[in-house]
Chains A and B, each alone.
Chain A
Amino acid sequence: MTETTASIPAAGPQRSSLTGLVLRNPLGLLATALIIVVLLTAIFAPLIAPNDPAAVQIFKVNVAPGDGYLLGGDGSGRDIFSRLVWGARNTLIGAAIAVVVAALLGVTAGLFAGYFGKWYETASSWISDALMALPALIVLLALYQALGASIYLSMGIFGIMLSPGFYRLTRTLVKGVKNELYIDAARVSGLTDMRIIIRHILLVVRAPVVIQTSIVAGIAIVIQAGLEFLGLGDPSMPTWGGILQNGFQNMYNAPLGILWPGLAISITVASLVLLANAIRDAMQTGAAPSFRTPAIPAKYAAATPAPTPEEGVLLDIRDLVVAYPDGNGWREVVHGVTLQVRKGDVVGLVGESGSGKTQTAFAVLDLLSTGGKVLSGSITFDGEDLTKKSETEMRALRGRRIAYVPQEPMSNLDPSFRIGAQMVEPLMNVLGLSKAQAKARVLEMLARVGLPDPERTFNAYPHQVSGGMAQRVLIAGAVASSPDLLIADEPTTALDVTVQAEVLELLRELREEFHMTVVMVTHNFGVVADICDRVAVMKKGEIVEENAIGALFSNPQHPYTRMLLGSVLEDTEVRAYRAPAAKGNAA
């Protein structure tokens, strides 16, 4: 029986919170309960089965349920219920063999391939791909004579064919954590590779492997039943697939006979899948798809009226609250930001990552990530409250009057389309240009942002240009429609230092040439000093200080601002300023 229960202890030592979360999920609880029932049935089969599964009572052939045969008799007069109970044991042993073989092989190979890489990974991946190209059932059929009637040997071979699932999963996970700092730290502190793998990396792969185990157990039960259904099992041993085969041969006399074994298989496998789903959901709480958007708390309902437009102010953000759904409530990421941007200014929105600066920028564009919502406050752009606008109205503004330059140039170009195609499409949409006009405009802009061969860039795919070129392309795309407001989200962060300066210079030129107002989201005071007129400093979703650039640099008010300035000065090696600024606040 050890094999049968092997998959369950693996789930045992989970953090109590994870187990708790799984059991608090109604489906998770139901699935766990059903699996325990099946396991207990398998373990205590001799005690539970009322009759000998092989005992034939000739007058009970195809008898209806009742009269000592709880679910009726089969075509030979045997007790279907007792056979199902014993079948649980035989079926689970077979499935457990497949799962254990698959998990041992796959996880071990995956750990080594992920951790050591190189030829080892190449070889194992090739084997894994080859195994996945085989139709498992046909291979098991072909090997039937070689393996003999023992279903357990077949299930062992099937385990080998199932191992790629574990292998790929483990390898991906290990590659993900291999270069994490704590693994490096363990390595530097002298732990052997073996110890690191066992101690740290196994911890990471444990929960996903439990999920995979659950699913593979389901597959194994189905395939095993399939083999037995085809008559490739040991006829003297009751298994669910074998019982189903008996029912099939006898189907026209006793249709109910195919119902019970099918239900036993389906309910067991469904429980395994539901358990896997429950563990997966518990692991990613928060990211779990919640089907209803939580109610918006009453405190946000009292909408602040949009301010009366002021002369010379292009963008006026008041008391902006941005939040994301989190379980049954909302998690605020921006708590009441107020910011005015005057026409023609370049305003820096500065803060560490997670300070809410990017979320504020996305709120202006109405491009928050899935689920994100402006819960209260107003965003007035050129006299109109953007938070009141429909998606269609916003689309008319985006690209036309408000443009966006993203942070990471390569991931912001669609890899499947030529650069030209993805620039022409928006211009045709937004400005109503013909294809030829749009192309001419794009080529003009590509030349303007300093690309040496616009025609060639136009026809290139994103993977064929460098990061710096890609960022110029994105700037060209943003500016091509002469927007009034340009929102640039860390436009230089992902670039080499030399390219950074060129891109900033380009933005400065374009701003003057096109009379744009710019909101520059950045964590870098060097960028701020270079291009901004005003700065707003954000921390934990709030603006802690806002001032003209000169005043802010010469006389920072908030300790957080002083700390940020201090860290910049360290970076830029202006040693004279370093000591006083950094000491007091860095801690």
Chain B
Amino acid sequence: MLTYLLKRIGAGIILLVLVSTVTFALIYGSTGNVARNILGESASAADIAAKEHELGLDRSLPVQFADWAVHAVQGDLGNSWTRNQRVAPSLASRFPVTLSIVAISVVIMFFVAAVLGITAAVRRGIADQIIQVISVVGFAMPNFWLGLLLVLLFAVRLQWLPPTGYVSFATSPASWVASLVLPVGALVFSGIASASQQVRGAVIDALNKDYVRTLRARGVSPRSILYRHALRNALPATLTVLSVQFIALLGGAAIIEQVFAIPGLGSLTVDAALQGDVPVLMGVVVTLIITVVIMNILIDILNAWANPKVRLQ
């Protein structure tokens, strides 16, 4: 169990190192006219050289990377090139917003998808058909379009909820909830659709296992078969779905934050991407990879708890 976990953590660190190296090479490698972009068309060659020296771009790529990496492991991600801000603190102020949206979405998605998926697996018939329809619709409707439609309906037409903006929990819990309803709704819909399909599949698989027949042959009740045995065995597949959906939601949140003008990591990333703010982009990538790695390790732990074969390795 411990070796298993150490292995997973090791794999996560390798992934982090690999992705940051490749990303760094790609985005710092293409910073040819950053200085000119920042200074404007009228800047002289000397000004540009001075700016490049100031940003450290006149050094070779490996030297730049080594410098960045040494600082990064100490939690220093450098300065933004376009705003007068340090990268790490600005990530720290925005990341919780995104994380709370994604975390709430994952939890809602998990419960709704579990209920829908299990119902469809057990009842088949109508419940099953409804889920099939939802899953096609959820897959086909881009979350940002759904978000816009929700704004038009609930904010503009019915005026039940604010159309955009974000209120922090500390300011007003009620407004915080109100500001999150539409974005989270838009974000979870497609996730629920695909996750409930997967849960349905996992539960049906578990119910079709040989040992279920044997347990039934011994007189075990259908309730215990479903809740004790089938769900327990469907859990690993469901957890995998959850990890895939978590990653998808992190990306989806970037667009949704733009639609709802939420000051999270996503809108920071979009601005940085459009303006070529490379240190911020590196910071975002590293933060998100670490988040994904941590999430996957949590899921691995849950998986090990659910699966004695893994736990007792």
Q: Which residues of A contact B (CB under 8 A)?
A: 130, 132-139, 141-146, 218, 222, 225-226, 229-232, 244, 247-248, 251-252, 255, 258, 261-262, 265-267, 269-270, 273-274, 277, 289, 291, 362, 365, 367, 369-370, 391, 395-396, 398-400, 403-404, 406, 408, 411-417, 422, 425-426, 429-430, 461, 463-464, 474, 477-478, 481
A367 to B212 alpha-carbon distance, docked (Å): 10
Judge whether A222 and B142 touch: CB under 8 Å: yes
Residue B145, interface by CB 8 Å = yes
Question: Which B residues from 112 to 168 make CB contacts under 8 A with A?
Answer: 124-125, 128-129, 132, 136-137, 139-142, 144-145, 148-149, 151-152, 156
**B213, A425: Cβ atoms under 8 Å?**
no
On chain B, the residues within 8 Å of A481 by CB distance are 218
Residues of B near A141 (CB, < 8 A) are 254, 269-270, 272-273, 281
| Contact B289 A134, beta carbon cutoff 8 Å | yes
CB distance from A270 to the nearest CB of B (A): 4
Q: Do the beta carbons of A138 and B229 come within 8 Å of each other? A: no
User: From residue B39, how far is it (CB to closest CB) to chain A in Å?
Assistant: 16
In the complex the two chains form, what is the Cα distance from A262 to B140 in whole Å? 10
CA distance A130 to B23 in the complex (A): 14
User: Which of B57-65, B88-96, B174-182, B219-227 is the interface stretch?
Assistant: B219-227
Q: Is A425's CB under 8 angstroms from B220's CB?
A: yes
Would B149 and A262 count as touching, CB distance under 8 A? yes
Collect the chain A residues with CB atoms within 8 Å of residue B215's CB: 414, 422, 425-426
A406 to B214, CA, bound (A): 7
> Which 6 residue pairs of A and B lie closest in terms of their CB atoms, listed nearest first?
A399-B219, A137-B251, A426-B218, A404-B217, A270-B140, A146-B30
Interface window among B43-51, B103-111, B242-250: B242-250
Instruction: Answer yes or no: B293 CB below 8 A from chain A CBs.
Output: yes
The answer to whether A291 and B128 have CB atoms under 8 Å apart is yes
Return chain B residues, CB-CB under 8 Å to A463: 308-309
Q: How far is the CB of B294 from chain A (nearest CB, A)?
A: 11
Which residues in A have their C-beta under 8 angstroms from that of B259?
248
Q: Are B211 and A413 in contact (CB under 8 A)?
A: yes
Q: How far is the CB of A28 from chain B (nearest CB, A)?
A: 13
B308 engages A415 (CB within 8 Å)? yes
User: In the complex, what residues of B have CB within 8 A of residue A142's CB?
Assistant: 23, 27, 269, 273, 281-282, 284-285
Residues of chain A within 8 A of B26, CB atoms compared: 143, 146
B302 at the A/B interface (Cβ < 8 Å)? no
Q: Which residues from B are CB-within-8-Å of A251?
A: 148, 151-152
Whether B145 pairs with A258 at a CB distance below 8 angstroms is yes
Interface contact A262-B148, CB-CB below 8 Å: yes
**B232 x A395 contact (CB < 8 A):** no
Q: B27 — which chain A residues lie within 8 A by C-beta?
A: 142-143, 145-146
Establish whether residues A398 and B144, one from each chain, have CB atoms under 8 Å apart when the complex forms: no
The answer to whether B309 and A461 touch across the interface, beta carbons within 8 angstroms, is yes
B209 CB contact (under 8 Å) in A143, A391, A411: A411
Against A, the Cβ 8 Å flags (1 = close, 0 = not) of B266-310 are 000110111010100110110011001100100000000011110
B208 CB-CB contact with A under 8 Å: yes
Most buried by A among B217, B222, B247: B217
Q: Is the CB of B258 closer than 8 A to any CB of chain A?
A: yes
Knowing A141-B281, A270-B140, A461-B312, the reply to whether A414 touches B218 (Cβ < 8 A) is: no
Chain A residues near B141: list those with CB within 8 A. 262, 266
Contact of B15 with A by CB under 8 A:
yes
Alpha-carbon separation in the docked complex, A342 to B9 (Å) = 63
Q: Are A396 and B144 in contact (CB under 8 A)?
A: no
Q: Chain A: interface secondary structure? A: helix
CA distance A291 to B130 in the complex (A): 12
Closest Cβ of chain A to B227, distance in Å, is 12
Q: Which residue of A lies closest to B254 (CB)?
A: A137
Is B5 on the interface with A (CB-CB < 8 A)? no
Q: How far is the CB of B71 from chain A (nearest CB, A)?
A: 19
Q: Which residues of A contact B196 (CB under 8 A)?
A: none
Q: Which of A143, A226, A258, A416 is within 8 Å of B148, CB to CB? A: A258
Tell me which of A136, A146, A274, A478 contacts B251 (CB under 8 A): A136
13 contacts between A and B (CB under 8 A): A134-B247, A134-B292, A137-B251, A277-B132, A367-B216, A399-B219, A403-B218, A406-B213, A406-B214, A415-B233, A430-B219, A477-B218, A478-B217
B219 touching A133 by the CB < 8 A rule? Answer: no
- B54, CB-defined interface residue at 8 Å: no
A265/B145 in contact, CB under 8 A: yes
Tell me the complex Cα distance, A237–B154, Å: 32
Cβ–Cβ < 8 Å partners of B264 in chain A = none
* Distance to closest chain B CB from A252 (angstroms): 7
B29 interfacial by beta-carbon distance below 8 Å = yes
Q: Which of A258, A261, A266, A416 has the most CB of B within 10 A?
A: A416
Chain B positions within 8 Å of A136 at CB level: 251
Chain B residues whose CB sits within 8 angstroms of the CB of A273 once the complex forms? 136, 139-140
Most A CB contacts (10 A, CB to CB) among B23, B128, B140, B309 go to B140
Q: In the complex, what distance in Å separates the CA atom of A247 from the CA atom of B218?
A: 63
Cα distance A252–B148 in the bound complex, in angstroms: 11
Among A232, A417, A430, A474, residue most surrounded by chain B Cβ atoms (within 10 Å): A417
Q: How far is the CB of A373 from chain B (nearest CB, A)?
A: 15
CB atoms of A367 and B217 under 8 A apart: yes
Expressed in whole angstroms, the Cα–Cα distance for A251 and B259 within the complex equals 11
| Chain A residue, CB-CB nearest to B152 | A255
Q: Does B13 contact A (CB under 8 A)?
A: no
Q: Is the CB of A229 within 8 A of B214?
A: no
Q: How far is the CA of A529 from the CA of B276 in the complex (A)?
A: 82
- Closest-by-CB residue of B relative to A31 is B136
Considering the chains assembled together, what is the distance between the CA atoms of A286 and B197 in angstroms?
20
Assembly CA distance A145 to B31 (angstroms): 8
Given contacts A252-B156, A265-B145, contact A429 B221 (CB under 8 A): yes
Chain A CB within 8 A of B210 CB: yes
Asked whether any CB of chain A lies closer than 8 Å to the CB of B255, the reply is yes
Q: Are B208 and A133 in contact (CB under 8 A)?
A: no
Known: A132-B244, A230-B255, A399-B218. A144 touches B273 (CB 8 A): yes
Tell me whether B19 is interfacial, beta carbon within 8 Å: yes
Among candidates A291, A369, A429, residue contacting B124 with C-beta atoms closer than 8 Å: A291
Check if A133 sits within 8 Å of B210, measured CB to CB. no
Bound: A291/B248 CA distance, A: 32
New A-B pairs, 11, CB < 8 Å, besides A132-B244, A134-B247, A270-B140:
A130-B15, A135-B248, A142-B281, A142-B282, A144-B273, A145-B30, A255-B156, A273-B136, A289-B124, A399-B217, A412-B210
CA–CA, A252 to B136, complex, Å?
Answer: 29
Q: A139 is contacted by which of B18, B132, B145, B285 (Cβ under 8 Å)?
A: B285
Complex Cα gap A413–B31 (Å): 60
Partner of A430, one of B124, B218, B255: B218
Q: Kindly list chain A residues whose C-beta atoms are within 8 Å of the C-beta of B281.
A: 141-142, 145
Let me know if B142 and A226 touch, CB within 8 A: yes
CB-based nearest A residue for B247:
A135
**A145 and B211 alpha carbons, distance in the complex (Å):** 55
